[in-house]
Amino acid sequence: MSGRLLPAALQDWLRDNAPALNDGSADDEALLPALADAGLFGAGVATASGGSGGDVRDAVDAIAAVAEHSLAAAFVFWGHRTFIEYLLQSPNGALRERLLEPLIRGRQAGATGLSNAMKYLCGIESLQIAASRTDRGWRLDGQLPWVTNLRKSGFVFAAAVSAADGGAPFIVALDSERDGIARSDDLDLIAMRGSNTAALCIDAVAIDERDVITADARAWLPRVRPAFLGMQCGMSIGLARAALAAAQSRCSSSRGVLQDELDAVSGALRQLTGALLDGLGDGVFVADAAQLFRLRIALAEQVQRAVQLELQASGGRAYLVDAQFGFARRLQESAFVPVITPSVTQLQVELQRQAEAQARAA
């Protein structure tokens, strides 16, 4: 169960702050600088663009490594790095030039905001922000009910908007300081409360072409979806690794009966992780999204199996309140994995719809 080795200082920081990031008592301004100081936001970003090189697989690896210590930190990492990926895959070079450097350095918070768009792509829901033409560009109105990494000191976020004139939906980048953008209080989550997750209201926000990430969301979203979901899978990989490592360390002779199942889950996790990285590397997920959906579902299942093995290996101590022991936090974190958008259920529905369509066409 090897992965990226985080700098010792960051490992220590995450270990000390994981309970507070989960219950919301942490300094939520400190997480981005801690991750940026370790160079993590440059993983998979070309050196010419200020990153450390590699490709999206390096970002998956980095997110998984953080998730081994704190899923809340990995969730923020995913949202921030996914916004960076949008800029990397945008034809708007001026926008990328303006925003990329402060994002990689952790001076600005970035939020994906495209969970609604990914569900729109699968036909699950309509876009929730509408764009009306003006003399200078567009007026935006709508809302996003759940966005992460909305740091209270300021943030930028991506949003998909539908064109009121019937044109193609498009993707925009918006700064929290723009008139007409309002952030709610943090959502009252049961865990991962230090992730700066809130709702956004967009009321008569004026934009122009300088704010457009892509003018054709339907063509662009399938190309960026593998990175969106692939990096999201890094959260499952890291959490499953952490639970399996804890289970293994607590698997005493009296609980040696668990070893075969531990080996089975560890093997399945390695196989699924390899399949994910291979698919991201050769680009098959752009044309075959169903394969990626199945991997996301299977990785979520391994998280549940790993956490249950940790419970069984730990015995009664797992039921005691002990922040340093970590099981209660990982149990809460594991409950979030199936509902991250697109949720496991939504993906299963989409796979069923595709299978039925193929059967009708046969």
State yes or no: pLDDT of 59 exceeds 90.
Answer: yes
What residue ranges do the domains of the chain occupy? Answer: 8-109, 115-217, 218-361
CATH number among 2.40.110.10, 1.10.540.10, 3.30.460.80, 3.30.70.270, domain 8-109:
1.10.540.10
Distance separating alpha carbons of residues 156 and 224, to the nearest angstrom: 18
Q: pLDDT tens digits, residue range 257-302? A: 899 999 999 999 999 999 999 999 999 999 999 999 999 999 999 9
The 10s digit of each residue's pLDDT in 25-52 is 999 899 999 999 999 999 999 999 999 9
Burial class (CB in 10 A: 0-12, 13-18, 19+), 169: buried
For position 33, what pLDDT does the model report? Answer: 96
Confidence (pLDDT) at 141: 97
Sequence-ordered list of residues with C-beta below 8 angstroms from that of 56, at least 6 positions apart, any chain: 44, 85, 226, 227, 230, 231, 280
Task: Give the number of other CB atoms < 10 A from CB of residue 44.
Answer: 24
The pLDDT value given to residue 341: 87
Cα-trace Rg, the chain: 20
Share of the chain above pLDDT 90, in %: 82
- pLDDT band per the 50, 70, 90 thresholds, residue 3: low
3-class DSSP string for 38-73: CCHHHCCCCHHHCCCCCCHHHHHHHHHHHHCCCHHH
Q: For the full predicted model, state whether its pTM sits above 0.85.
A: yes
Q: What is the pLDDT of residue 186?
A: 96
Residue 256 scores a pLDDT above 90: no
Residue 240 has pLDDT above 50, yes or no: yes
Give 115-217's CATH code, choosing from 2.40.110.10, 3.30.460.80, 2.40.30.40, 3.20.20.300.
2.40.110.10
What pLDDT is recorded for position 1?
Answer: 36
What is the tens place of the pLDDT at every residue in 124-168? 678 899 999 999 999 999 999 999 999 999 999 999 999 888 888
CATH class of 218-361: mainly alpha
Using pLDDT thresholds of 50, 70 and 90, give the confidence band for residue 2: very low
Q: Give the mean pLDDT of the chain.
A: 93
Q: Per-residue confidence at 325, pLDDT binned at 50, 70, 90?
A: confident
Mean predicted confidence (pLDDT) in 225-252: 94
8 Å CB contact between 155 and 111: yes
Whole-angstrom distance, CA of residue 115 vs CA of residue 146: 8
Is 90 exceeded by the pLDDT of residue 98? yes
Q: Is 254 a residue whose pLDDT tops 60?
A: no
Reported confidence tier of residue 253, pLDDT bands at 50, 70, 90: low
The pLDDT, as a whole number, for residue 115 is 82
- For position 275, what pLDDT does the model report? 98
